[in-house]
């Protein structure tokens, strides 16, 4: 196996530098080099940052104005993840990023339980040599995920500069993300039960807002749970798109995220007492009023095999061109069929 090609990036420390090496480099490395803070930290740790030929391995090392720092950059290494020829629905692609409509049942990133058949496997095959490298590795940059059984839109970085810029937008919660969900019940601002649920409030227009902390469940490590101290701040807003039944017993909701935490919509809707239909972890099975819905609708709800959740809208600023991008993905066939059945008039 041939040795990787090494290129050297020379950075001159500008006036009034931060006292620490890592912070000075983060400020002074040219933007086109697309070296994120985490990548710089790894390069320092690996001894690939030098001053006068001497490796600087302490990120707190002091630097002075006018000093020249050398950064050794190896070409992106091949990923250990194998490419797989899996069809993808691609809505947008350029040299820096790709937007896909992920199907139900596909895991985003390989894990011990799912080493293959993932979105990353598919992207490695699709992109081939077009991946310029993320974090020193020829791999797609995953900046956000949706669950295996959730369908919908994802943006993935193909370059380090895109990965850094997208990650920053997600960190600042400036990315537009709207989901469609089918839930038990119909949330209403006049419902006294909802008014009594901690963390639940309503905004004008009957918009339900859930504000909590989220963290791993104390006894079930596969689940997330609502807390009001500790954990990570999480805010979800929800509005009714359509209600089903007379009286209403099921609703199609539009949910949008101020923050993006693991299982956030699923956990928040369950906390509000409006769990997602088909959600085996948080939704539960509920007995529906046989007079409110048709037998076909009740059976469709009972048999729905996954959480009824779809990432429908994704909007962000292109991290390289600065262009405002916004994408929409229609509901998948199984949710369309569920909604059609819910619209079936009840007998009598």
Which residues are designated catalytic?
A: 147
- Residues near 252 by Cβ (< 8 Å), separated by ≥ 6? 180, 181, 182, 240, 241, 242, 243, 244, 339
CA-to-CA dists, residue 7 to 33, 70, 72, 251, angstroms:
12, 10, 6, 57
DSSP 308-340: -EEEEEEEEE-TTT--EEEEE-PPPHHHHHHHH
- Residues near 190 by Cβ (< 8 Å), separated by ≥ 6? none
How does strand 77-78 pair with strand 137-138?
Answer: parallel
User: Phi and psi (nearest 5°) for 301?
Assistant: -65, -45
Contact between residue 173 and residue 261 where contact means Cβ atoms under 8 Å apart: no
Axis-axis angle for helices 295-303, 333-342 (nearest 10):
150
Token digits of residue 75: 């070409």
């Amino acid at each position: 196996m041939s040795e990787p090609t090494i290129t050297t990036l020379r950075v001159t420390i500008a006036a009034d530098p931060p006292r620490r090496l890592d912070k000075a480099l983060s400020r002074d490395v040219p933007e086109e080099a697309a070296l994120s803070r985490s990548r710089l930290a790894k390069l320092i740790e690996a001894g690939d940052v030098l001053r006068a030929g001497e490796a600087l391995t302490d990120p707190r090392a002091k630097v002075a104005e006018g000093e020249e720092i050398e950064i050794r950059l190896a070409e992106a290494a091949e990923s250990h993840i194998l490419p797989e020829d899996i069809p993808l629905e691609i809505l947008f692609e350029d040299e820096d990023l790709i937007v896909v409509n992920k199907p139900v049942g596909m895991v985003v990133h390989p894990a011990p339980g799912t080493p293959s058949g993932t979105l990353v496997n598919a992207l490695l095959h699709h992109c081939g040599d077009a991946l310029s490298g993320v974090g020193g590795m020829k791999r797609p940059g995953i900046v956000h995920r949706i669950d295996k059984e959730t369908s919908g839109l994802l943006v993935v970085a193909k370059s380090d500069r895109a990965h850094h810029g997208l990650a920053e937008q997600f960190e600042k919660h400036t990315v537009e993300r709207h989901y469609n969900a089918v839930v038990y019940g119909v949330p209403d601002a006049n419902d006294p039960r909802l008014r009594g649920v901690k963390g639940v409030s309503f905004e004008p227009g009957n918009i339900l807002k859930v504000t909590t902390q989220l963290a791993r469940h104390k006894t079930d490590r596969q689940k997330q749970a609502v807390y009001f101290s500790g954990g990570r701040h999480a805010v979800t807003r929800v509005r009714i798109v359509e209600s089903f039944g007379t009286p209403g017993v099921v609703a199609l909701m539009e949910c949008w995220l101020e923050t993006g935490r693991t299982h956030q919509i699923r956990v928040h809707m369950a906390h509000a007492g409006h769990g997602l239909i088909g959600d085996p972890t948080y939704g539960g099975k509920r007995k529906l009023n046989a007079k409110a819905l048709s037998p076909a609708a009740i059976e469709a709800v009972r048999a729905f095999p996954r959480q009824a959740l779809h990432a429908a809208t994704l909007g962000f600023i292109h991290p390289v061109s600065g262009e405002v991008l916004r994408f929409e993905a229609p509901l998948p066939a199984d949710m369309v069929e569920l909604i059609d059945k819910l619209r079936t008039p009840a007998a009598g």
